[in-house]
A and B are shown apart, each in its own frame.
Chain A
Amino acid sequence: MEKTEHKKGFTIPIGPQHPALKEPGHFRITVDGEIVTDVDVRLGYAHRGIEKAAEARSWVQNLYLFERVCGICSHIHAMAYCLGVERLAGVEAPPRAQAIRVLVAELERIHSHLLWLGVAAHEAGFDTLFMYSWRDRETIMDVLERFSGNRVNYSANILGGVKYDLDDEFVQFMCEGLDYLETRSEYYLEVVTTDAMFLQRTQNIGVMTRSQAELLGTVGPTARASNVHRDIRYEAPYSAYKQFPISIVLDQRGDLEARFVVRIKELFESYRLIRRILEELPEGDLAARMPRKIAEGETVSRVEAPRGELFYFIKSNGSDTPERVRVRTPTICNMMSVVKLAIGHQLADVPMILAGIDPCFSCNDRMFRVHLDQSVYANVGPLKG
């Protein structure tokens, strides 16, 4: 009896309601002593039916619906949607609007990465770093509030352009904030690479090789920390990234430390890009005129959210409401890496490995339908039961 239990291991169910989880997700972790032998993940507890709701709303109304897919990366969702709808309508946003969109997207990336740094440090038990990074994150929140009036859900986008312009007073305020954050980011980079206690929790934990990262389909900083050249801003530049190219931040090691280093180095890249945009900000209108009915057709819109590739499929039937909008957020792509990487590690490392992909549960809860029609398999011969 004892022997069988030892072989099977002991399964610990965590979630969907659990004090350690900020969002609902269910994990069944099988352990042999302290070592994880199997992980099973079940998602979908925060499914909100956003894609279906989009079919009942007009093109304009949907902009604000998709902005609320994620509270942290709200701008990039609206931007992905806008870019897709503008492509369908054959309208291009003016250069100044595109530059402002990218500028806000980079500000959002800074805010998201600083937030993640705090959360991940908290999971490692390093609450001082958590408090520091969240204190400094307030700087960027103030900048975003000054720009749009809101700390989150900035509503900076409209179909065809942006709502708000940059003025000198704001630019001055933002530059001061960026200067402060740059010195702080240098300090954080030093802390996560030199602090001996912290390195014990990150170095050689959750190591993912390049081939594993490609096989598991990881995206964003998680993939880049394993030396996978995957960044939509770099691979397929959209909006103003064509005029303002970014340089991709990579790391060879693939462990948790590399994910910290990649994200903090991306902060420097964002500071550089924002300053460059301010130097060469094009003049012109803020928005182009958009038709109320969008021409029939379908398109795919890919952008780089702070967590990785964000994918929108938009289909129009020529009316004033979309026929279908499909959203795929980066967390769903990265979740399989947690399931694979946790095996062989200590149970205490699982929260860190999970935090390493910067998960956002309610963003990724979408409906999947798997067609199990027998006729699909007609060409591959009869299925054996």
Chain B
Amino acid sequence: MKFGTLLQDLARSAVHNPITEKYPFEVRATPARLRGRLNWDAENCIGCGLCVKDCPSQAIELIVIDKKTKQFQLFYHLNRCTFCAQCVYSCRQECLSLSRDEWELAALNQEDFHIQYEREVDEVPCVAATDPAEA
């Protein structure tokens, strides 16, 4: 390694600001394909359960309340999720998406990791669970 190269780098570094960003005061823009928190669009869901079947870390539970009136509950366990986006790919109705902006997901309580998505339900006719642990 030549001495001149080192000197060049030293000179450049002397006038350059540190490359470290002062997070959380400076937040870097996320890449367009960043895979953050899972969001569920209840309108299009048909309750096929493919997301539950394909999830490698059993982070999704889908409870079918009534398939005809499209009443479902989706439980999303954030602390199990590996953000692989297989559920997004498996969903044929395109109702799942991984957020680009919601990626600061640390929490102090366990409860904050268990997210329940639900559409407004008038009455509850029957309940059939598709918990991956029971399947």
Contacts and interface: CB of A to CB of B under 8 A. Distances in A.
Interface in A239-284: none
Nearest to B53: A58
A164 B31 CA distance: 14
Interface stretch (B39-47, B60-68, B78-86, B116-124): B78-86
Interface of A: 57-58, 60-65, 67, 128-129, 145-150, 153, 155, 158, 163-164, 187, 191, 195, 198
B33 interface: yes
B35 A57 contact: no
Interface residues of B, number: 20
Given A158-B86, A191-B1, A149 B34 contact: yes
Given A129-B1, A158-B86, A163-B85, A57 B33 contact: no
B27 interface: no
B55 interface: yes
B6 interface: yes
Contact of A147 (B33, B86, B90): B33
Contacts of B34: 149-150
Given A128-B6, A149-B32, 4 more contacts: A58-B53, A149-B34, A155-B85, A191-B1
Contacts of B57: 64
Given A58-B54, A128-B6, A195-B1, A149 B35 contact: yes
Contacts of A155: 35, 84-86
A61 B54 contact: yes
A64 B33 contact: no
A56 to B, nearest CB: 11
Contact of B33 (A146, A153, A187): A146
Interface in B11-36: 31-35
Contacts of A61: 54-56
A61 B90 CA distance: 12
A281 to B, nearest CB: 19
A263 B53 CA distance: 41
Contacts of B54: 58, 60-61
B58 to A, nearest CB: 9
**9 tightest A-B contacts by CB?**
A149-B33, A64-B56, A61-B56, A149-B34, A155-B84, A60-B54, A149-B35, A64-B84, A146-B31
Contacts of B86: 60, 63-64, 155, 158
18 contacts: A58-B54, A60-B53, A60-B90, A61-B54, A61-B55, A61-B56, A63-B86, A65-B56, A67-B84, A145-B31, A146-B31, A146-B32, A146-B33, A149-B32, A150-B83, A155-B86, A163-B85, A191-B1
Chain B contact residues: helix, strand, loop or mixed: loop
Contacts of B83: 150
A288 B84 CA distance: 19
Contacts of B82: 64, 153
A191 B85 CA distance: 42
Nearest to A145: B31
B43 to A, nearest CB: 24
B56 A150 contact: no
Contact of A128 (B1, B31, B84): B1
A245 to B, nearest CB: 30
A285 B18 CA distance: 44
A57 B56 contact: yes
A101 to B, nearest CB: 16
A148 B33 contact: yes
A146 B31 CA distance: 6
A149 B1 contact: no
A155 B55 CA distance: 13
A128 B86 CA distance: 41
A64 B85 CA distance: 10
B30 to A, nearest CB: 8
A60 B52 CA distance: 12
Given A128-B1, A158-B86, A63 B56 contact: yes
Nearest to B54: A60
A163 B90 CA distance: 11
Contacts of A65: 56
B56 A158 contact: no
A254 to B, nearest CB: 25
A179 to B, nearest CB: 19
Given A61-B54, A61-B55, A129-B1, A158 B31 contact: no
A64 B80 CA distance: 13
Contacts of A163: 85, 89
Nearest to A144: B31
A92 B31 CA distance: 31
A354 B135 CA distance: 46
